[in-house]
Structure 1
Amino acid sequence: MGSLEIDSLDKSYGAAKVLKDINIEIEEGGFLVLVGPSGCGKSTLLNSIAGLEDITGGEIRIAGKKVNDLAPADRDIAMVFQSYALYPNMTVRGNIAFGMEIRKIPKAERDEAVHRVATLLQIEDLLDRKPSQLSGGQRQRVAMGRALVREPQVFLFDEPLSNLDAKLRVDMRTEIKKLHQRLGATIVYVTHDQIEAMTLATKIAVLKGGVLQQAGTPAEIYNNPVNTFVAEFMGSPSMNLIPAQAGQGPNGPTLSIARKAGDPLVLPAPEAVAAYAGRGVLLGLRPEAITDEEAADRNARVVETASCRIDVLEPSGADTYCTTDLGGKDVIGRLRADAPIRQGEDATLAFNLDKAVIFDPDSGERIA
């Protein structure tokens, strides 16, 4: 397996720039997930790595070797497509072995490779079936088998689970994670599903409008988003972005947040907020950082409590989500399932400010 380096990559169609100065590195054996909304350029980037799209500028290196000018067949990559792309007239065995047959690999070697991959993917009993006789999940395993049998430097996955139903997606996600752990393969994986990104990746790259917004581990992307786009895109429910007024109190900077009823909620703020005194900012808090008093993190350094009117309660089994109005916006908190809180009444909520991030409302960039 090989590392992957993308250095100052640009891609244009005529005057339209679809990828702009992309810089990403993934180590040998890493799992890079490209994520972002439709049209953000993630599939174009994957196709550029594969050699299916010519790049306008920059470099792509696989295992330290520049591959810009190499044909797809010479880049030592294997791709798994959203549509499976299986040959309908061939058996599973034939589909998996086809690439090796084209490369004139001896039959005994082909048979051994097919058996090894089929065992790994648990599809030994499907080898003599045609694709039309398989379920969606089984077809996806065959498509993965055809890629695995090549033992390339880098595997490329283009939204491989998007055609599967919800339960099968979860099952296949687990299988791909196990497969990565067993093989130690270098993988680049495109998805629009941020849950897939969080669960599979060792590194996530978030794109918007052809621009790389942030690249980092799932924990870095989730806990320390660099701007409001990343904060809202990653996480379900997404991060609360609460309008607040920056001020200065006797003990340092403060955030004042309007409440529908009663006085504003005043919270301590990081020192960086002092430069914004008298101006509006956005306070970012994940739902789990707003909870009932009993569920508050006892190890947190700064937890503030306040009475809030609970507008909506949504039980979800293990947790209950609540909605309250702060700063003129619906703000979601995550409570214990048995928290003694009622819809339409005031309740004491705990705010874990260790988890707070602050953004500039105009640029969307992070302040603190």
Structure 2
Amino acid sequence: MSFLHIHNVHKRFGSTPVLKGVDIAIAQGDFLVLVGPSGCGKSTLLNMIAGLDTLSDGELLLDGVRINDLPPAKRDIAMVFQSYALYPSMTVAGNIGFGLEMRKVPRKARREAIERVARLLQIENLLSRKPSQLSGGQRQRVAMGRALVREPQLFLFDEPLSNLDAKLRVDMRTEIKQLHQRLRTTIVYVTHDQIEAMTLATRIAVMRGGELQQLGTPQQVYDDPSNLFVAGFMGSPSMNLIPGRVVERDGEPWVALDAEETQVLLPVRRDRDALRQWYDREVVVGLRPEAITDPASADRREGDVHEAELPVALVEPTGADLYVVTSLGGKRINARMRPGGAVEPGSAARFAFDVTRMVVFDPDSEQRIRSPAPDPA
């Protein structure tokens, strides 16, 4: 049985639907990240789990208990806000222990709990300071400590890193992940940053317009996107989405992609049975930048590699990688190559395509074209 089940949840503000039948179930100890663009409903859903907003329809079950009508204080849930929400007149120790004090926890037990959490978050030397004397990262640790000290069933994080600078955001991301690995607590985390989602989550729920687009592990969402939105939203740079056409060669489906002076033909390796029904029809072909590289870097042991010569429009070195931009199907295409390669804008270069990583979409429905799952033996 799932530990947290968001069952067919709807939310309407007047006649405007904000959430449209969201259904998500996660196990105890999971780190669920709700990700999507601004306005997709992820923070609204988090607030309803916390009890800060009401459901229009549906059910919220926590460890088998229906919590729809429970007040926030009785849900055994702790929330870390984007704004930290620290009391400026209290010390760090006072902020962390405030909830325990309100629950009439004895002073000695309260002090021990505060010290335990401070050690966990490495802020023992900050306990006597006020929030105004702390950096952004230190304030975030204090906000996390106030949630951790309660030892709730469920932690909720509402874009907790969005106020931090880029380097500190990466550092805090690592700390949150390590904290989860040590404590194995159940976390629901909201962000619009898909890199945060990929690095932190054990399960990702991709949302758009109040609807769940895909629920899966980070690798499933990245390698096996269910539709064009997920394919384009997850990943940086995002997946190349190339207009093409399915053609038949020797009784098997291939995709034809138009280049400036030629045509690139690539064999279908995934969902081959389904694409046999799409001969002479338009499709959208999805290839991650790392599935398009230079011939010397292509993994020919694991992949099925096909090469084509294409013009180089732009070269973008990033240090660890070299992103080379070309065009296919009238679209700008990103390829990830080894740094130091002799590739120059305005020249032509050999590109290697790993077709085992290629996915294909219906341009009308925007859904992935999939072969039926095999019957269980």
TM-score class, shorter: over 0.9
Q: Deviations over 1:21-59 (max 9, x none)?
A: 111111111100000000000000000100111001111
Distance, in Å, in 2 between the alignment partners of 1:131 and 1:109 is 23
How far the C-alpha of 1:251 sits from its partner, in A, is: 4.0
What is residue 19 of structure 1 aligned with on the other side? Answer: 19
How far the C-alpha of 1:168 sits from its partner, in A, is: 0.3
The secondary structure found in structure 2 opposite 1:294 is: coil
Distance, in Å, in 1 between the alignment partners of 2:22 and 2:250 is 45
What is residue 264 of structure 1 aligned with on the other side? Answer: 263
Distance, in Å, in 2 between the alignment partners of 1:193 and 1:276 is 35
What is residue 358 of structure 1 aligned with on the other side? Answer: 360
296, 311, 314: which is aligned to 1:312?
314
How far the C-alpha of 1:342 sits from its partner, in A, is: 2.3
How far the C-alpha of 1:299 sits from its partner, in A, is: 2.2
More deviation in 228-237 or 12-21? 12-21
Distance, in Å, in 1 between the alignment partners of 2:331 and 2:303 is 27
Matched-pair identity in %: 60
Aligned length: 366
Distance, in Å, in 2 between the alignment partners of 1:143 and 1:42 is 21
Q: Deviations over 1:154-205 (max 9, x none)?
A: 0000000000000000000000001001111100000000000000000000
1:272 alignment partner AA = A
1:55 alignment partner AA = L
2:98 alignment partner AA = F
The secondary structure found in structure 1 opposite 2:142 is: helix
What is residue 46 of structure 1 aligned with on the other side? Answer: 46
The secondary structure found in structure 1 opposite 2:296 is: helix
What is the TM-score of this pair, normalised by structure 1? 0.98
Alignment of 1:235-274 (within 5 A): 235-261=235-261, 263-269=262-268, 270-274=272-276
How far the C-alpha of 1:301 sits from its partner, in A, is: 4.3
Q: Deviations over 1:52-111 (max 9, x none)?
A: 110011111111111011001100000000000000011111101111111111101100
Q: In the superposition, relative to structure 1, how do residues 316 and 107 fare at CA in structure 2: closer, same or farther (>3 Å)? A: same
Structure 2 unaligned blocks of 5 or more: 371-377
What is residue 75 of structure 2 aligned with on the other side? Answer: 75
Alignment of 1:1-368 (within 5 A): 3-261=3-261, 263-269=262-268, 270-368=272-370
Distance, in Å, in 2 between the alignment partners of 1:36 and 1:60 is 21
What is the TM-score of this pair, normalised by structure 2? 0.95
Structure 1 unaligned blocks of 5 or more: none
Q: Deviations over 1:296-324 (max 9, x none)?
A: 11223421111111111111111100011
Distance, in Å, in 2 between the alignment partners of 1:239 and 1:245 is 18
Q: Is the 8 A contact 1:300 1:352 kept in 2?
A: no
How far the C-alpha of 1:132 sits from its partner, in A, is: 0.4
How far the C-alpha of 1:344 sits from its partner, in A, is: 1.3
Distance, in Å, in 1 between the alignment partners of 2:236 and 2:95 is 38
Distance, in Å, in 1 between the alignment partners of 2:184 and 2:237 is 32
Distance, in Å, in 2 between the alignment partners of 1:350 and 1:338 is 17
How far the C-alpha of 1:117 sits from its partner, in A, is: 0.3
Runs of 4+ more than 6 Å apart: none
The secondary structure found in structure 2 opposite 1:215 is: strand
The secondary structure found in structure 2 opposite 1:171 is: helix
Distance, in Å, in 2 between the alignment partners of 1:272 and 1:314 is 37
Q: Is the 8 A contact 1:239 1:286 kept in 2?
A: yes
Distance, in Å, in 2 between the alignment partners of 1:57 and 1:167 is 41
2:86 alignment partner AA = L
**In angstroms, what is the RMSD of aligned CA positions?**
1.0
Distance, in Å, in 2 between the alignment partners of 1:155 and 1:319 is 37
